[in-house]
Amino acid sequence: MTDSSSTPVYVRTPFGTFLNSLAVDRALAPYDVAGSIAHAEMLRASGWLSPQETSVIVSGLRLIAAEIRTGHFPWRDELEDVHTNVEVRLGELVGPAAGKLHTARSRNDQVALDERLFLRAALAQVAHRLLAVQEALLHQASAEIATPMPGYTHLQRAQPVTVGHHLLAHFWRFDRDLDRLFATVERANVSPLGAGALAGSTLKTDPAAVATRLGFDRPFANSVDAVSDRDPFAELLFDLALLAVHASGFAEEVVLFASPEFGFLDRSSSLGAGSSLMPQKRNPDAAELLRGQSGRVVGDLVALLVTLKGLPLAYDRDLQEDKAPVEDALATVGAGLVALTTLVQGLVFDHARLVAASEDPELYATDIAEHLVARGVAFRPAHEAVAAHYRTAGGRLDPAQVGEIPGADPAFGRSLTASDSLGRRSTTGGPGPLALQQQLTQARTALEGRRHSLSSLDRKVGLVEEILQEERK
Ligand code: ARG
């Protein structure tokens, strides 16, 4: 499509496609074009482009945006990356004016800019999907707010909780993940454009104007830092890695609870596929994949951190390696969250099994110790008395024999049930009915706040499309 004379000299190398980043930076294309439009407008305001040249360049760039959107853009491998592909194409479309676009700009500040715009949009998409997971969890939690289940420590039955309380524990983990994503985008919302290769420019330009146009909070403070900083990507990968780890914990519980050994999930839950050999099997495949994929995402985080470790300032070509792990983690977590929402929505709890498991008298040993405390026994001796009773009873507890524990009211044995125990657990944030109602309200309010933050992020993300679509000036 192009002859070698239109291949800029800086991408002519003897390394074939080795230096090429097109496979990973094509995803930056719309952001690259929007950034170039903002840059061209700034060059006009600063006197480096005439109004005529600016309008030629900007309409050429919008044409390119349309080609990219419709799949008609002629991508060329030999042009190394998205930036050069766009610039060369602009030359073909609008002629020599295109040669002025790269004034006071380097691919170093350009790629940093593209990545920040990309990050903003990618993160908003993850946030939408995570919100859907939280909504599904909240829905299930409200339906199962009073369904008792054993709470576990060390995966041993410990004390009674409810399914709603347990699901809300997952809700709050995901809520912190969402909070982290918003904090990441807030810190990243600084424009690097104008840093040039590393030392700004001898030409007078206006990085603040570009920053404002693209919805950034401010331009960079230090040009060397601006072209080197990949903290936003590292933070995003950490956010996604922890999110994937949280999802894997949830998924593991689905796997466990779906097995007949626990039996807390009804067989009608939609968890995955069947076995090609064993006709009776219904495997929790979706949960298993979510559990397994968290490893990939943690690997992506480690890959980027190791790439960044020990790099001297300012731009180094190593930084080109930042895109693959970010794109892999986004694709993995993005698809995983959609599956997770479906998984949560499809959970059907087996109430009979949950109630039976919650009737295990062992779950109420602490209740007895605290009953003794309420009757004036110090906690440590109370703990020992109950432990001694369990030892002599062969590790079991017969509610009818509670009266044999020194200091206990024999009638207390009758209230060693899930509903009585939960009723006693009125501490804030606990599984008692009142506290749980408060928690549900808190969760709904939190979700409302997140929706609000997300819609203001969506507005910033939408700026790129607006810039690409705007009528010619
Ligand atoms: N493909 C490069 C990257 O992703 C763009 C910046 C190239 N800069 C340079 N000086 N070669 O990092």
Residue 198 Cβ < 6 Å to ligand 1: no
CB 7 within 8 A of CB 88: yes
Q: 159 - beta bridge partners?
A: 151
Cα 106 to ligand 1 centre (Å): 9
Question: Is there a catalytic annotation at residue 139?
Answer: no
3-state secondary structure of 221: coil
Q: Which of 259, 268, 275, 426 is catalytic?
A: 275
Cα 241 to ligand 1 centre (Å): 26
Residue 110 Cβ < 6 Å to ligand 1: no
Residue 69 pLDDT: 97
SS3 content of the chain, % helix, strand, coil (to 5): 70, 5, 30
Where do we find the tokens 């909240």? 138
| Alpha-carbon 165 to chain mean position | 23
Which residue has its alpha carbon closest to ligand 1 atom 3? 320
Q: Going residue by residue through the chain, which has 473 residues, state the pLDDT in tens, using 9 for 90 and above.
A: 444 457 899 999 999 899 999 999 999 999 999 999 999 999 999 999 999 999 999 999 999 999 999 999 999 999 999 999 999 999 999 999 999 999 999 999 999 999 999 999 999 999 999 999 999 999 999 999 999 999 999 999 999 999 999 999 999 999 999 999 999 999 999 999 999 999 999 999 999 999 999 999 999 999 999 999 999 999 999 999 999 999 999 999 999 999 999 999 998 888 888 888 888 878 999 999 999 999 999 999 999 999 999 999 999 999 999 999 999 999 999 999 999 999 999 999 999 999 999 999 999 999 999 999 999 999 999 999 999 998 888 878 888 999 999 999 999 999 999 999 999 999 999 999 999 999 999 999 999 999 999 999 999 999 999 999 986 44
Which residue has its alpha carbon closest to ligand 1 atom 2? 320
Structural domains for the chain: 22-103 (1.10.275.10), 108-350 (1.20.200.10), 360-416 (1.10.40)
Cα 144 to ligand 1 centre (Å): 53
Cα 67 to ligand 1 centre (Å): 23
Q: Which of 81, 82, 323 to mutate to test the pocket of ligand 1 (most atoms within 8 A of CB)?
A: 81
Query: Which of 2, 349, 396 lies closest to 145, judged by CA?
Result: 349
pTM higher than the cut 0.85: yes
Cβ partners under 8 Å of residue 200, min gap 6: 194, 223
Cα 340 to ligand 1 centre (Å): 36
Which residue has its alpha carbon closest to ligand 1 atom 7? 107
Angle between helices 163-188 and 107-143 (to 10 degrees): 160
The tally of CA atoms less than 13 A away on the side-chain side of residue 229 is 22
Q: Which of 108, 304, 311 to mutate to test the pocket of ligand 1 (most atoms within 8 A of CB)?
A: 108
| Alpha-carbon 407 to chain mean position | 52
Residue 105 Cβ < 6 Å to ligand 1: no
Residue 230 Cβ < 6 Å to ligand 1: no
What does residue 18 show for φ and ψ, rounded to 5 degrees? -60, -35
Across the chain, which distance is largest between two alpha carbons, in Å?
97
| Interatomic CA distance for residues 395 and 304, integer angstroms | 51
| Interatomic CA distance for residues 284 and 401, integer angstroms | 42
Question: Is there a catalytic annotation at residue 275?
Answer: yes
Residue 473 pLDDT: 44
Residue 21 Cβ < 6 Å to ligand 1: yes
